[in-house]
Structure 1
Amino acid sequence: MLDVLRKIVQEVSVAPNLESVLNLIVTSVQRSMKTEVCSVYLFDPSDQRYVLMASEGLNPEAVGSVRLSAAEGLVGLVVDRAEPINLENASEHRAFKYVESTGEERFNSFLGVPIIHHRDVLGVLVVQQRDLRRFDESEEAFLVTLSAQLAGVIAHAEATGSLGTIGEQEKAVVDLRFEGVAGSSGVAIGSATVIAPPADLSSVPDKPAKDVAKEIASFEEALKLVRRDIKVVGRSLAQRLRTEEQALFDVYLRMLDDNALAGEVVARIEKGNWAQGALREVVTEHVRQFSMMDDPYLRERATDIKDLGRRVLAYLQEAAPASLEFTDETILVADELTPAMLGEVPSEKLVGLVSVHGSSNSHAAILARSMGIPTIMGAVDLPLTRIDGRQLILDGYSGRIYVQPGEDLLTAYQDIVKGEKEQAEELAALKDLPAETTDGFRMPLWVNTGLIADVARSLERGAEGIGLYRTEVPFMIRDFFPSEQEQAQTYRKQLEAFHPRPVTMRTLDIGGDKALPYFPIEEENPFLGWRGIRVTLDHPEIFLVQVRAMLKAGEGYENLRIMLPMVTSVREVEEANRQIDRAVRELQEEGHNIKRPLVGVMVEVPAAVYQVRRFARRVDFISVGSNDLTQYLLAVDRNNPRVADLYVSYHPAVLKALEYIAREAHKENASVSICGEVASEPGGALLLMAMGYDVLSMNATNLPKVKAAIRKITKTDADRLLKDVMSMDDADRIQALINERLDELGIALPAQPNIPN
């Protein structure tokens, strides 16, 4: 059964459209389970019913016409319960509904399983037989497993089909919604520009062919060059291959003939798709056909076709690179965003970013937050190839993307954008005012930075210091480790610009989801692997060079603070202190006028929470990295869209840990700060202030909002809010209470459109 399951999933995953997906499913399941009927019902949001979309065994005329609500029939019962229904004699069940057009009265046994995607019941997969029998456990398990694996594929195919193809846009559905992970808050409304990496067929978007003849000529030139390459390789290997192996090169060449792949691509171009999009369509279809074949030799030809497609695409992209057209409101979309891609769009035209893959902590997301650009990461169901040029709404608060919004939705979000601009103008007036409660309690607000461009933005918003300077960012934008002198120059710009305000520089924090291309770390579980201080202590030459560069950069300013990431033991703290002392001593001996800076540790893992006092005796300050700490406490990868909704900053366990850290650090008279996302939310900032945190550090974009919240409340009211919150045991209720109190105080919350969920 496992082999059958794998084959069905493989076949379906490369099907070109929803109709093909569903027909493959019903045919394959009916054949493999040896049942008389297999059917798929899918939810139609237009009338809130489940429609018979494909069937093998029922009356073909019923397909598309039978529509059932969630309260009708056995299909409705499966939907209502969201669990399998397995019946020996379906007609005797109280929920059975006879639908004459299907002819299903002949079938007695019934097994229906829900197709669930992101907790929504997309549809129902049903098998039926004439015999009076109950499907056994292995059959039920097979169907449940299959539906779980197919749910994402069906959702993607459904969305892709709804968007239509070249020339069909006018038929496309409006208000299509896709879910991702909020990477940078805010709302953007604009036109999608899809950017594809070199020679990646799966990411090539559909675009109208502006000049059909020119597209065909480019394709034929690319074919000629690929044929040349194959002949050259074939000749060079001729002496080392057997005759039958040499024949493979002839097979490659025949695949490129006009009556094979080439002819089909030209036909697609003539229908209106540009050469690269037409190539993707044809290659994908052939790969699907070969992957379905039983013969192992023929199945392997799918790999050959993919290889040929990539070769042709590479030449097409080289000869005629995709012309990116940027509107005044461009939303850049990519399979995986990189910093280099951000640089391709004029900054005045870039209003939003979407990445199908990637994390909220990726370099691109960090840059987006520092630039204040609404961003969504991990939108894995977004049909990348079909949205170029389409209008999008990007909701960076909820992590939602709407494709082709209707008038009502567009108006609702336009009001939010207008409100955000008005609020930003009001908050700008707070720049030179302190973050001070109405009863006189002062709360220092610092910023998180990574680029020199962040400095000006931070100072404009009234930042009083840098709580986290991500030193890995300058490492990421190079092709090799920067020298000590290069690092010193980069760090000095931060220290100089903020002088005399404090600047906290985190030592190199790579590993996890932050990789350097020239220092790859390949691990099965990188978040529990070789990262942070573990890497740099294992490579003292890297650590010492970086610390020396920081110390040199701070000479004459004396506003440097050094912070150690991912610390889990006292031994790591003591070893890092020894290395820092060594660097100070060496530079003093070389004639530099420097002093040992303040040194602190980041509390990011549960092990560090319970050693705070021990750490505090050995360092000058404690800083909480609440993003990683929350992730490790809840065992939730916040970059995984499937579980991102389980990552909640107001989880009672997280709040108890944060309160404990502040209390324990103060017992050793150590200052304690926090530089995670929770500090950048008005509600979270008020709770942290009440917990006793000495400094809150956040991205510059959110600093004015946090300052405004602090200036509207008394410290006593914040303490009361914390007391009420700490007595609660549910994150959703805690969030609701915080929102209620903020609303009572007149503190603006992220606007929400008046639309159904």
Structure 2
Amino acid sequence: MLGSLRSIVQEVNTARDLPSALDIIVRRVRDVMQTKVCSVYLRDKHSGNYVLMATEGLNQDAVGQVHMAPGEGLVGNVATREEPINLEHAEAHPAYQYFPATGEERFSAFLGTPIIHHRNVLGVLVVQQAERRRFDEGEEAFLVTLSAQLAGVIAHAEATGALATMGQQRNEAKFAGLAASPGIAIGRAHIVAPPANLATVPFACSMDVDAELALFQQALAAARSEIREVGERLKNDLNKEERALFDAYISMLDDSSIAVEVCERIRQKLTASRAWAEVMLEHVRRFEAMSDSYFRDRAADVRDLGARVLMHLRQQEQSQRDYPANTILIGEELTASVLAEVPREKLAGLVSVKGSSNSHVAILARAMGVPAVMGAQELPWEQVDGVDMIVDGYRGDLHLQPGPELRRHYEAIVAEERELARNLDHLAKLPGETADGHRVRLWVNTGLMADVVRSLERGAEGVGLYRTEVPFLLRDRFPSEEEQREIYHEQLAAFAPRPVTMRTLDIGGDKALTYFPIEETNPFLGWRGIRVTLDHPEIFLGQVRAMMKASLGLDNLRIMLPMITGVSEVEAARKLVNRAYDELIDEGYAIKRPPLGIMIEVPSAVYQARELAKRVDFISVGSNDLTQYLLAVDRNNSRVASIYHSFHPSVLQALLQVVTACHETSTKIGICGELAGDPGGALLLVAMGYDVLSMNATNLPRVKAALREVNKSDLDRLLQQILTMESPEQIEEKLHGYLQDLGIGGLVQPQKAEASSDS
């Protein structure tokens, strides 16, 4: 049955809508299992009952009319027990209930399996047979497996409102991702589909049939021209059989039957891309089902041809695309180029199925102040085009089809945020210090020139982390030394005379360059940060030379080394920095030697902090990665995100240990990470003795406002209390209560306040 299972799942996943998917299920399962009946019952979230939604073998008039409460009848018992029920003589079971409308009195054998998604029973899949017999283990396993596959389809249908078209009430749906850029976006989803993937073309209609027909013909013509051009260019490199493939492609494009099928679907109001995808996927399935291996192999050719034409259709659609106000851009993996196509005034939020909070799109979103969620892997993104939704960039939550109450809740948060921002504007020109005069430097993390204006407007006193990898991520090759010099000079000049801390190239982990791929089983424990650049001194030297040249006449550069694990790496890097400096002096550049510092991001550096501090001019803790490594939690993995906690007692003890080592060696100590941008976290760091807090520009006014309301002596007492606590929840609750008592609880971002109240 494995081949049948794969075929059914493929058909279901490409079905036009939920009713079509359910019809495929009941029809194909009945045929494969050779039963008389196959039916699907779905839970109505409004009533909680299970409703007959599709059947082959029972009376069709019963669809939508038969309802069973949990525990009622055999179907209701499958739902409450959350396990299959397999009966030889169903009528003899005490839970059996007769529904005249179905006509099921003719059937004895019964097998029902629950459809479960994230511990919720969404429905029940049933097969029945007239004669008395028990379905065997293979049949039961087949139905259980199919139910698990169907669960995702049903969950997606609930999320996108597809169940509303089948008579059920439209419901709110919530999906979780990774918070990538803070803020709340309330708007309408706009899908950016991969340019050449037939399976991910969303179902969409168009009222302008003539325009879609013209679009289809243009795409066919463009694909023909492209294939002929490629075939001509490669004809001397290919043998006769290989050249024949291009002729076969042209022949398929000229096949009038395919074009007729597509045009017929377009006339049924489908968009050209959806019509083409449906027809080509049906042809792919026909080839895959053939017994002859030669013809089965041709399925790949059909898929490739389909992708080529689809790419041209997408290009045509892109040029005609009109973005509505409050657009929430959604894609499997958003890119900077896609983001640039949306007018800034219309872009409300971003959602990417793949990617992390450190992807360059996430960095760009933060620079632009656009709320964003990455890694939303459960989101049925292909099916939500045009759906009303809310993006919670604080918590990483996505709400589809929000009801009036939920919408009002988030609108209130947006209003509060705007009011708070207005009330904090006056702080920009005031120093970062406590009420009793303890001075702390408040710097910003940047990566793009778009960050500069927002940072200076909010009163940034310097740059604690300039991510030099961003210009590398936004190119398709390594930038030259002169290109880097221009970029770095622009950043240094914008902040002068304020200090700018430039981190040397930090790639690897979840930051990969397309032109310098690093394939590893465990990238976060692999070749990343300083390890890469020490192995490639030509990259390191070129970058450091560009930084120093960029600082000519400004002298506000600080160089910082990432991912340091021990003394030997610092010494090796210092030799290269000194070499670059000496070369530039010999070349006639009148530059000052910049301070050299390191990032402490891994546990080994915490335990060698004193030895490391003796060898550098400053230290900055990268709290995000340090927390990740201390807790053994991938912060970009939504499955374990709930146990990634910056206030974990072990993290706080490590942060305190680094400060102590730096104070003993008179080394300046700072921190750049999410913890520094949290008002409560910032107060703890000040109490520990951190000299510099570097954060996202958005959070700087909040931190400064909290800082100016407290006395350093009070913070010292608060820290001593917190260091005795044993759980991050206790610590966060204590901090939130402390801010509330001071009358500044409103500075806490929404997700922090809510987390504290739940603890």
TM-score band (shorter)? Answer: 0.7 to 0.9
Aligned to 2:456: 459
Q: 1:296 to 1:604 in 2, by over 3 A?
A: farther
1:178 matches 2:179: no
Structure 2 residue 704 is matched with structure 1 residue 707: yes
Contact 2:113/2:144 (CA < 8 Å) preserved in 1? no
1:480 is aligned to 2:481: no
Greater CA deviation, 144-153 or 349-358? 144-153
Query: Alignment RMSD, CA only?
Result: 4.1
Q: Give 3-state SS (helix, strand or coil) of 2:345's partner.
A: coil
Residue 554 in structure 1 maps to residue 551 in structure 2: yes
Task: Decide which moves more: 506-515 or 7-16.
Answer: 7-16
Shifted more, 485-494 versus 719-728: the winner is 719-728
Structure 2 vs 1, CA of residues 9 and 729 (structure 1 numbering), >3 Å: closer, same or farther? farther
The answer to whether the aligner puts 1:492 opposite 2:493 as a matched pair is no
Comparing 176-185 with 98-107, greater Cα deviation is found at 98-107
Q: How much has 1:123 moved relative to structure 2? A: 4.1
SS in 1 for 2:427: coil
Displacement of 1:685 in angstroms is: 2.0
TM-score by length of structure 1 reads: 0.85
Whether the aligned pair in 1 keeps the contact of 2:249 and 2:305 (CA below 8 Å) is no
| 2:161–2:170 CA contact under 8 A, matched in 1 | no
Conserved 8 A contact 1:566-1:604? yes
* Counterpart-to-counterpart distance in 2, 1:662 and 1:27: 68
- Report the CA distance between 1:352 and its aligned residue: 1.7
8 Å CA contact 2:179–2:374 kept in 1: the answer is: yes
Q: Secondary structure at the match of 2:344?
A: coil
Q: Equivalent residue for 1:48? A: 48
Paired with 2:401 and 2:392, the residues of 1 have a C-alpha distance of: 14
In the alignment, is residue 116 of structure 1 matched against residue 114 of structure 2?
no
The one-letter code sitting in structure 1 at the alignment partner of 2:392 is D
Could you tell me how far apart the structure 1 residues matched to 2:711 and 2:717 are? 10
1:412 to 396, 403, 409: 409
Shift of 1:524: 3.6
Deviations 1:668-716 (A, max 9, x none): 4333322112222223223333333322211101111122222333445
Confirm whether residue 750 of structure 1 aligns to residue 743 of structure 2: no
Deviations 1:79-133 (A, max 9, x none): 667x64677899899994635467489667867456223x544445567888787
The match for 1:690 is 687
Does the CA-based 8 Å contact 1:234-1:246 persist in structure 2?
no
1:294 and 1:439 map into 2 onto residues whose CA distance is 83
For the structure 1 residues 591 and 252, does the alpha-carbon distance in structure 2 shift closer, same or farther, using more than 3 Å as the test? closer
Q: 2:514 aligns with which of 512, 517, 522?
A: 517
Does the alignment pair 1:658 with 2:655? yes
Contact map agreement 1:11 1:291 (CA 8 A) in 2:
no
Does 2:303 align with 1:306?
Answer: yes
Would the alpha carbon gap of residues 602 and 275 (structure 1) be closer, same or farther in structure 2, given more than 3 Å must change?
same
Per-residue deviation, 1:450: 0.7
- In structure 2, relative to structure 1, the CA distance for the partners of 1:134 and 1:485 (3 Å cut) is same
| Partners of 2:52 and 2:478 in 1: CA distance | 59
| Separation of aligned partners in 1, 2:12 and 2:128 | 22
Distance in structure 1 (CA, Å) of the matches to 2:295 and 2:128:
33
Q: Which amino acid aligns with 1:253?
A: S
The residue number in structure 2 matching 1:253 is: 251
Deviation at 1:467, TM superposition (A): 0.9
- Deviation sequence 1:44-67 (CA, Å, 0-9, x none): 322234444456777766654444
Is 1:438 matched with 2:435? yes
Please tell me whether the aligned partners of residues 605 and 628 of structure 1 are also in contact (alpha carbons under 8 angstroms).
Answer: yes
Inter-CA distance 713–149: structure 2 relative to 1 (3 Å threshold): farther
In structure 2, distance between residues paired with 1:146 and 1:665: 60
How far has the Cα of 1:201 moved from its partner?
Answer: 4.1
Structure 2 CA distance, aligned partners of 1:108 and 1:686?
A: 68
Match for residue 156 of structure 1? 156
Shift of 1:535: 1.1
Q: What corresponds to 2:18 in structure 1?
A: 18
> 1:21-50 deviations in whole A, cap 9, x for unaligned?
445556666777888876654433222344
Q: Can you give the 5+ residue segments of structure 1 that lack an aligned partner in the other structure?
A: none
Quickly say closer, same or farther: Cα 1:110–1:608, change in 2 above 3 A: farther
How does 1:330-369 map onto structure 2 within 5 Å?
Answer: 330-369=327-366
Please report how far the alpha carbon of residue 403 of structure 1 lies from its aligned counterpart in structure 2 after TM superposition: 3.7
Q: Aligned equivalents of 1:78 and 1:139: distance in 2?
A: 17
Q: What is residue 538 of structure 2 aligned with on the other side?
A: 541
The change in CA–CA distance for 1:238 and 1:719 in structure 2 (over 3 A counts) is: closer
Deviation string, structure 1 residues 120-179 (Cα, Å, up to 9, x no partner): 44445567888787976x887776666555544443355456288xxx899993644433
Of 731-740 and 388-397, the range deviating more from structure 2: 731-740
* Aligned residue identity for 1:433: L
1:278 corresponds to which residue? Answer: 275
Q: Distance in 2 between matches of 1:297 and 1:53?
A: 40
Q: Which residue of structure 1 lines up, in the alignment, with residue 607 of structure 2?
A: 610
Which is worse superposed, 408-417 or 572-581? Answer: 408-417
After superposition, what is the alpha-carbon deviation per residue over 1:201-256, rounded to whole angstroms, capped at 9, x for unaligned? 4555555536322321231243345456667888959994569x959955873575
Q: Distance in 2 between matches of 1:270 and 1:293?
A: 30
| C-alpha separation in 2, matches of 1:214 and 1:524 | 48
- Name the CA distance, whole Å, in 2 between partners of 1:140 and 1:713: 66
Q: Does 1:581 align with 2:582?
A: no
The SS at the match of 1:183 is strand
CA drift at 1:494: 2.1
Which letter maps to 2:393?
G
Write out aligned runs for 1:57-76 (5 A): 64-70=64-70
Counterpart in 1 of 2:646?
Answer: 649
Contact (CA 8 Å) 1:335, 1:357: kept in 2 or not? yes
Q: Secondary structure at the match of 2:634?
A: coil
1:546 Cα offset (Å): 0.9
Change (3 A) 1:576 1:233: closer
- 100-109 or 534-543: bigger deviation: 100-109
Q: Distance in 2 between matches of 1:728 and 1:106?
A: 64
Check whether the contact 1:90–1:110 (CA below 8 A) recurs between aligned residues.
Answer: no
- Does structure 1 residue 527 correspond to structure 2 residue 528? no
Unaligned runs of 5+ in 2: none
Partner of 1:98: 97
CA–CA distance in structure 2, aligned partners of residues 270 and 609 of structure 1: 67
3-state SS, counterpart of residue 620 of structure 2:
strand
Q: CA deviation at 1:562?
A: 1.2
Cα deviation, 1:498-546, whole Å, max 9, x if unaligned, reads 2332211100011222222332323343333222111111110110111
- For 1:207 and 1:186, how far apart are their aligned partners in 2? 30
Q: Over residues 420-468 of structure 1, what are the superposed CA-to-partner deviations in whole Å (9 max), with x where a residue is unaligned? A: 1111101111112233333443332210001123122111101122110
**SS of match in other structure, 1:173:** coil
Residue 370 of structure 1 aligns with which residue?
367
Contact map agreement 1:84 1:114 (CA 8 A) in 2: no
Range with bigger deviation, 715-724 or 617-626: 715-724
Q: CA–CA distance in 1 between the matches of 2:445 and 2:674? A: 10
Q: Which residue of structure 2 aligns with residue 567 of structure 1? A: 564
**2:634 corresponding residue in structure 1:** 637
Q: Which amino acid in 2 is paired with 1:257?
A: D
Q: Please give the alpha-carbon distance, in whole angstroms, between the structure 1 residues aligned to 2:239 and 2:691.
A: 72
Letter in 2 for 1:283: M
**Count of aligned pairs between the two proteins:** 747
SS in 1 for 2:333: coil
- The verdict on how the C-alpha distance between 1:719 and 1:46 changes in structure 2, with shifts beyond 3 A counting, is farther
Report if aligned partners of 1:77, 1:95 keep a CA contact under 8 Å in 2. Answer: no
Q: Which amino acid aligns with 2:624?
A: N
Please report how far the alpha carbon of residue 264 of structure 1 lies from its aligned counterpart in structure 2 after TM superposition. 2.5
